[in-house]
Amino acid sequence: MEKIDLAEGGVLLYEPEFLPPTLSEQYFVELRNHCQWEQKPGLFGHMQPRLIASYGDEGISYKYSGVVNTALPWTETLLEIKEKIEAIQGEYNYCLLNCYRTGSDSMGWHADDEPEMGNVIGSLSLGATRKFRIRHNATRETKTFQVGNGTLIIMAGTMQQFWQHEVPKTKRHVGERINLTFRKIVKE
């Protein structure tokens, strides 16, 4: 696993082939077919350009873009994936899944810096390869990573305070991609 030390104390761990292709494909099909996917409104009433699903410990919810996402109970598949990622770094009680159906589905520049969230996020990609970009808030330095079937990125340290990240739109024909972002939500 490659460790990238970022400005201001941010840390990014990158492993392009964290899961073998056959297991990645198995997880992709299972999650695509059995998660409770929704398209929810985002900022200014526009629909978010992707589908989402929320799973986690009982009573956990996560609010972003003005929408509360209440966790459904963990599935066996999600618990199995969570255990594999926690073995690398982190302890998680919530997973926000994003399904990017085509290259038009995206996630704009943002940081996961809500006060109730811990500073370690485990992000697993399944399915089609997309670009994942990070950008320093002040210097605008940008780094691009290819995230494909089975790629793991762990964002840690002060990354969410000083860096933003995105999955940009693409005009290339790409297949579906599911991204799982494991987080630790601290209940008040």
- How confident is the model at residue 186, as a pLDDT? 86
pTM higher than 0.95 for the full model? no
∠ CA 102-104-105, nearest 5°, is: 75
Cα gap 72→87, rounded to integer Å: 23
- How confident is the model at residue 69, as a pLDDT? 83
- How confident is the model at residue 47, as a pLDDT? 63
- Give the chain's mean pLDDT: 92
pLDDT at 24 over 90: yes
Q: Which residues contact 33 (CB under 8 A, 6 or more apart)?
A: none
Q: Map out the domains of the chain with their CATH numbers.
A: 2-183 (2.60.120.590)
> What does the block give as tokens for 31?
């999650």
Taking only the tens place, the pLDDT of each residue in 38-65 is: 876 666 566 676 899 999 999 998 877 6
By C-alpha distance, which of 108, 109, 100, 97 is closest to 174? 100
- How confident is the model at residue 163, as a pLDDT? 97
Asked if 51 contacts 1 with a C-beta cutoff of 8 angstroms, the reply is no
Q: What is the DSSP letter of 185?
A: B
174 φ/ψ angles, rounded to the nearest 5 degrees? -125, 155
The HSE-up count of residue 57 (CA atoms within 13 Å, CB side) is 12
Burial class (CB in 10 A: 0-12, 13-18, 19+), 31: buried
